[in-house]
Amino acid sequence: MSKWMLIPCAVLAAATTVTAQDARQVVAEAQARSTTKSQRYEGRLQVVDAGGKTSEKRWTYTRLGSHGASKTIIRFTGPAEVKGVALLIVNFPDRASDQWMWTPAINRERRIATQDRRTRFFGTDFSFEDLEERDVDHHTYVMEGEETLEGERCWRIASTPRPGRRSQYTRSTLWIRQSTYSFAQVENFNGSTLVRRLRYRDMASVQGIWSARTLEMHDFTRNSRTILTLESLTYDVPLRDDQFTVQALQRS
């Protein structure tokens, strides 16, 4: 997820005046305010299928670095059938991320090919691509105007991958809150078809940083939703590079 995707949209409380017409400057400001050295949280995922049936998963999320130059491990902690499954993502500023998944049931890891990253990540409505973290320079931006979303005045910005950037999405629409430069919503399209919508809700101050505590991903191709609730969220925790290796995936 461009990391307007999965990181819970942290922003500093203070506001800065930015010319509304400069779409890239708005996105860059949002990125600057969400930059931390590291992050950790426990997540509860409620997956609601097209028929309304709900299942629950849990994972831990740990990240070192930020915005296009980071390393992340996501590890399922429940239920039993997915416990221990883990994904390592190494993000780069100038190319697609590297991804490896560890599956305890077969006792091996496998590299996730670029062409496979549009698929769902273990029964959630997040694709492998959605879990990536990207830099503001990975896209171009056009200001589409202003709009009120769930009571918050937002800039509405069109985002398009730069030439050479591979993505399942041909374009995205971003809603960024004017009061805090935090993301309120992202809609991802393939051509004219809306594929996924991510909403950032339940904003709270964590270590002086405004953060979304609930993220809801709606997959329109399946008419299913995943609601991710963040628990025990902390920033700037001490982490080491050797905690983010293929070998580290095998550690429970």
Would you list the domain boundaries of the chain? 11-57+120-236
Residue 242, exposed/middle/buried by CB under 10 A (0-12, 13-18, 19+)? Answer: exposed
pLDDT of 17 higher than 90:
no
Alpha helical stretches, state H, 49-124:
none
- As beta bridge partners, residue 77 has none
pLDDT of residue 94: 79
The CA-atom distances, in angstroms, between 237 and each of 39, 66, 94, 170, 250 are: 6, 13, 26, 35, 22
Spatial CA neighbour of 141 closest among 155, 121, 128: 155
Q: Quick one: tokens of 137?
A: 């320079």
Residue 177 pLDDT grade (very low, low, confident, very high; cuts 50, 70, 90): very high
How confident is the model over 130-171, as pLDDT tens digits?
A: 998 878 888 999 999 999 999 999 999 999 999 888 899 999
How confident is the model over 186-237, as pLDDT tens digits?
A: 999 999 999 999 999 999 888 878 899 999 999 999 999 999 999 999 999 9
Give percent helix, percent strand, percent coil of the chain, each to the nearest 5. Answer: 10, 50, 40
For the question of whether the overall pTM of this predicted structure is more than 0.85, the answer is: yes
Query: Looking at domain 11-57+120-236, which CATH architecture does it have?
Result: Clam (2.50)
Higher pLDDT among residues 92 and 57, named by residue: 57
Q: How far apart are CA 34 and CA 48, in angstroms?
A: 29
pLDDT of 86 higher than 70:
yes
How confident is the model over 94-110, as pLDDT tens digits?
A: 788 999 999 999 988 99
